[in-house]
Structure 1
Amino acid sequence: MIFLYMIMIILVYGGMLILSLFSIRKTYQLDEFEPYEELLLSEYTKPVSILVPAYNESAGIYGSIRSLLSIEYPEYEVIIINDGSTDDTLEKLTERFQLVKINRVYRKLLETKSIKGIYQSKLYPHLVVLDKENGGKADALNAGINCSRYPYFCSLDGDSIIERNAFLKVLKPIIESDDEVIASGGSVRIANGCEIQNGELIKVGLSRKPIVLMQVIEYLRAFLTGRVGLSQNNLLLIVSGAFGVFSKKWVVEAGGYAHTVGEDMELVVRLHRFMKEKKVNKKIMYVPDPVCWTEAPDSIMFLRRQRKRWHRGLFDSLWKHKRLMFNPKYGSIGLFSMPYFFFIEFLGPFVELLGYILLIISIFTGSIQIEYGILFFLLSLIYGSIYSMAAVLLEEWSMEKYPKVRHFAILFLMSLTETLWYRPLTVLWRVEGMIEAIFGKKGWGEMVRKGVSND
C-alpha cells in the first residue's frame, strides 16, 4: 500500500513538473519582448494598496519599506499595520520616515481590533502606518483592507524585499484579464546570503548554512513545479502570504481574512468556493517571474516551528471547507485540488514516516526482502531528491536568478542529499503539525527575525 501510494505521488508530481516545464517554456525569455514600460503609462493599470502587517519586525521593517518605496509602478500606497508590537517597530518607523498623526477615513468593511492611530510620512505621502491593538496577522490584514483606498491590494510580509518590476509582472494578468483574474501570486525566494542595501537587492547569493540551502531548493520546487502546474487549470489553492495581489471587492464580499494559522490558503479556498457558489467565472493565477525575497529560518528550532505551523494551517483550511471534497458542485477544485492537498500534501508525511518505520522494523526482523528495501529507498529518492534536482535545473534554465555557476552547482549537489537528511526531518515535523492540528493547538509560535537588509 505504501509503495502504491508513493508511486501515485510520483506520478502526480511528475505530471505537474511536465505541465510546469511546458508553461515556463512558453514564457521563456518573454521579458525581453513584453512591454512592461507601457504598463507604467497605461490607463488600464490598476492602482494597488500594499499591506504589510508588522508584529515585532524592527529588525527588517526599514529595508522592506525602502524596497516598496522604490518599486516601478504608476500609482500605489504602502500601508504598514503595526499589530500591537512590543518592540520598537513603531518608534523606528516614526523616526526614520517622519510620521505624523492624521485624520483619515477608515471604513469598517471588516471587523477588527481597535485602531489606536493612523500616521502618514512627511517624506513619502503615499506611506501610511496604521497602529492597532494586537489581533494577529489576519486581523491586521483586515484592518489594512479597511484603511486602503484602491481596488486591489497586495499582502506582504514585514521582512520581504520586492524586486523593482515585480508589481508590474504580478499585476499584468489582472490588468489584461478585464477583472476575470481576481488574485495573482508571485514567487518567493530566500534572501539569506544575498547582499541587500537599504531595501534593494544588490547581489544574489547563497547562505553557507545547509539548512538554509535546502529551503532554497524547497522553495524552487514548490513554486516552479507545484504552483505553476496547479495554476494552469485554475486549481491553485495557495497564494503566498509573502507576496499576493487580490481584488478588494471579492475579498470583502467573501468575508476577509479568517483568524486561522493558514490565513493565506484559507482565503484562496474560500474565494474559489465563493465564486462557484455565485456561479461566476473568475481565476486565481500564479506568475513565476515576479520575485519577493524573504528571510528564512536559519536554525532547526525555528524551522521546525514554521513547518508545524504550515501543516496546521493546511489542516485548518481543508477542514473548514471539507464540504468541497469530491463535491462536483465545485468543479475541479472539489474533484482534484481538495483531494490533492488532503491525500498528498496533508497525509503524505504520515504515510512516508510510516514507510520509514516499517522498513526499519522489517529489515531488522527479516520480514521483508532487501530488494523491497532498495525499491522503497529509490522511490524516496525520486520523490525527494530527483524532483528537487529538476526544480534547480528549471530555475537555471528559465528564471536564472542565481547568476554564478557555483550557485547552481551548490544547489544541485545539495539537492542530491535531500532524501538522506532534510526530507526525513521535514516529514517528522509535518507529522508533529498534523498531531497538533488534530488536538486543536492554536497560535503561531515565536519566530525571531534577524533582518535581511544591511541598513
Structure 2
Amino acid sequence: MYPFVFLIDKENGGKADALNAGINFSKYPYFASIDGDTILDSDSFIKIMKPIIENTDDEILATGGNVLIANGSKTSLGKVNEMLLSKNPLVVMQVIEYMRAFLIGRIGLSNKNLLLIISGAFGVFKKSRVIQVGGYLTNTIGEDMELVVRLHRKNIEENWGAKIEYVADPVCYTEAPDSFKYLKNQRVRWHRGLFESLWAHRKMIFNKNYSSIGFIAMPYFFFVEFLGPIIEFLGYVSLIINITMHNINILYSFAFLILMIIYGSFFSVSAVLLEEWRLEKYKKISELNRLFFYSLTEAIWYRPILTYWRVVAIISIFLGQKKGWGEMKRKGV
C-alpha cells in the first residue's frame, strides 16, 4: 500500500542510533528528523525545503521548522483539525513559551547564521554533510543540538560557507508534558543536553577562529542559557531572605515586581499576537484571551519553577550524576 515507506527493525539503541540507521538507509540528498509524536501540516515538507530549493548559490546544511503544542486540539488520522488550548494551565504556559522561543528567538539567530538548535521534533539535514561529521552521537542526551553545533564547527573549519536556517512557516505539532513530574524530567534533560553540547565544543567559546559563532552564539548559550538560571535563582532567594529580615522596601519592591511582570509579559503577548496574526491557528477569541491572561502570570509562578529545575540540572552536572532521558509518559494527541 505504501511502496516508499520502509520499517527498519533493529535492536533498541536509543534515538540517536535509530536516526543513524535511518540516515544510512536513506537514498536522497536530504533527510528529515521527526519525533514519533510529531504531527505535520500537509505542506510542512514543502515549506521547510524552501530555503534549500531557492538558495541555489548557498549551501544549506539544515533547516528547522516551527513547533506548536497540540494538547487540547482536535486531531484525527494524523492531522490537526482544530487548534484548541488545553484546560491545563501548565500546558498553556508551554504554548506561550514555544511561541516566544520559536518566533522571536530562533528567527533572530537564524538571520545571522547563529542558530545552534534545530528541534528534534522536525528538522531537515543535508545527508552528505551529516555523514561527513560523523552522524548523531549516541552518548549524549542532547543529540539534536550537538549535531547542529558540530555542523557549524566543521562549516567554519573546512570553509564550506554553508548556512543553517530556521523557517517559521512549516508547522509541526507535538505533545507537551501535562504534569509537573514529566515537565521537570523534560527540562532537566534539556539543560543537561545543552551543557553536553557546549562542553563537547568548548574550544569554540571566545575563539576568534570561529567568528560570530565563537564570540556570540556559544557564549550566549553558555552564560545566559546555561548559567543564567543560577543568577536568577539567587535573586529569588535573596528577595525572600530580605523580605523575611525586613531589609527591603516593600513598596519599591512591589513596584519593581510589577515592572518585571509587564516587561516579561510584553514579549510573551507580542509573540502570541504575531503568531496568531501570521498563522491564525486559534479561531476563538476566548482562546486568545486565555493566552494573554496566562502570559501575565508567567513571572509569578511558571518561570521560577523552570529556573529551579534548571538549577537542579546544573547541580546534578557538577556532582557528576549520570542521568538518562527520564520517564516521559505520553497520552497521545
Quick check: 358-367 or 210-219, which moved more?
Answer: 358-367
Structure 2 counterpart of 1:236, which letter?
L
> Which one of the candidate residues 260, 270, 274 is aligned to 1:390?
270
Partner of 1:172: 50
Is 1:384–1:423's contact at 8 Å kept on the other side of the alignment? no
Partner of 1:449: 330
Answering whether residue 86 of structure 2 is matched by residue 207 of structure 1, we say: yes
Partner of 2:28: 150
Answering whether residue 212 of structure 2 is matched by residue 325 of structure 1, we say: no
Partner of 1:195: 74
Answering whether residue 135 of structure 2 is matched by residue 233 of structure 1, we say: no
Answering whether residue 294 of structure 2 is matched by residue 430 of structure 1, we say: no
Q: Identify if the C-alpha distance between structure 1 residues 309 and 152 changes in structure 2 by more than 3 Å, giving closer, same or farther.
A: same
Aligned-residue offset at 1:372: 5.5
TM-score (norm 2): 0.96
Answering whether residue 64 of structure 2 is matched by residue 185 of structure 1, we say: yes
Answering whether residue 234 of structure 2 is matched by residue 354 of structure 1, we say: yes
For residues 397-408 of structure 1, the aligned pairs below 5 Å read 397-408=277-288
- For the residues of structure 1 that align with 2:246 and 2:159, how far apart are their CA atoms? 57
| SS of residue paired to 1:417 | helix
| SS of residue paired to 1:341 | helix
Q: Identify if the C-alpha distance between structure 1 residues 279 and 379 changes in structure 2 by more than 3 Å, giving closer, same or farther.
A: farther
Partner of 1:248: 127
Structure 2 counterpart of 1:218, which letter?
E
Partner of 1:27: none
* Cα shift readout 1:23-63 (whole Å, capped 9, x = no counterpart): xxxxxxxxxxxxxxxxxxxxxxxxxxxxxxxxxxxxxxxxx
Answering whether residue 16 of structure 2 is matched by residue 138 of structure 1, we say: yes
> Which one of the candidate residues 206, 210, 219 is aligned to 1:339?
219
* Cα shift readout 1:436-455 (whole Å, capped 9, x = no counterpart): 22233231001111111xxx
Partner of 2:176: 296
Aligned-residue offset at 1:360: 1.0
- For the residues of structure 1 that align with 2:134 and 2:259, how far apart are their CA atoms? 43
- For the residues of structure 2 that align with 1:403 and 1:234, how far apart are their CA atoms? 34
* Cα shift readout 1:87-127 (whole Å, capped 9, x = no counterpart): xxxxxxxxxxxxxxxxxxxxxxxxxxxxxxxxxxxx10111
- For the residues of structure 2 that align with 1:211 and 1:410, how far apart are their CA atoms? 12
- For the residues of structure 2 that align with 1:409 and 1:384, how far apart are their CA atoms? 17
* Cα shift readout 1:401-444 (whole Å, capped 9, x = no counterpart): 22222221111111111111111111111111112222332310
- For the residues of structure 1 that align with 2:218 and 2:117, how far apart are their CA atoms? 11
Partner of 1:46: none
- For the residues of structure 2 that align with 1:436 and 1:154, how far apart are their CA atoms? 33
| SS of residue paired to 2:91 | helix
Once the two structures are aligned, what percentage of the paired residues are identical?
Answer: 59
| SS of residue paired to 2:112 | coil
- For the residues of structure 2 that align with 1:173 and 1:348, how far apart are their CA atoms? 33
Partner of 1:84: none
Answering whether residue 148 of structure 2 is matched by residue 268 of structure 1, we say: yes
Structure 1 counterpart of 2:130, which letter?
V
Quick check: 393-402 or 257-266, which moved more?
Answer: 393-402
Gaps of 5+ in 1: 1-122
- For the residues of structure 2 that align with 1:288 and 1:394, how far apart are their CA atoms? 12
Aligned-residue offset at 1:350: 1.2
Answering whether residue 300 of structure 2 is matched by residue 420 of structure 1, we say: yes
- For the residues of structure 2 that align with 1:175 and 1:367, how far apart are their CA atoms? 61
| SS of residue paired to 2:9 | strand
Is 1:261–1:442's contact at 8 Å kept on the other side of the alignment? no
Structure 1 counterpart of 2:90, which letter?
I
Higher RCO (CA < 8 A, seq sep 6+): 2
Larger Rg: 1
Q: RMSD in angstroms over aligned alpha carbons? A: 1.4
- For the residues of structure 2 that align with 1:312 and 1:438, how far apart are their CA atoms? 11
> Which one of the candidate residues 91, 98, 103 is aligned to 1:219?
98
Is 1:191–1:293's contact at 8 Å kept on the other side of the alignment? yes
Structure 1 counterpart of 2:98, which letter?
Y
Partner of 1:162: 40
Structure 2 counterpart of 1:303, which letter?
L
Aligned-residue offset at 1:371: 5.7
Is 1:157–1:242's contact at 8 Å kept on the other side of the alignment? yes
Aligned-residue offset at 1:319: 0.7
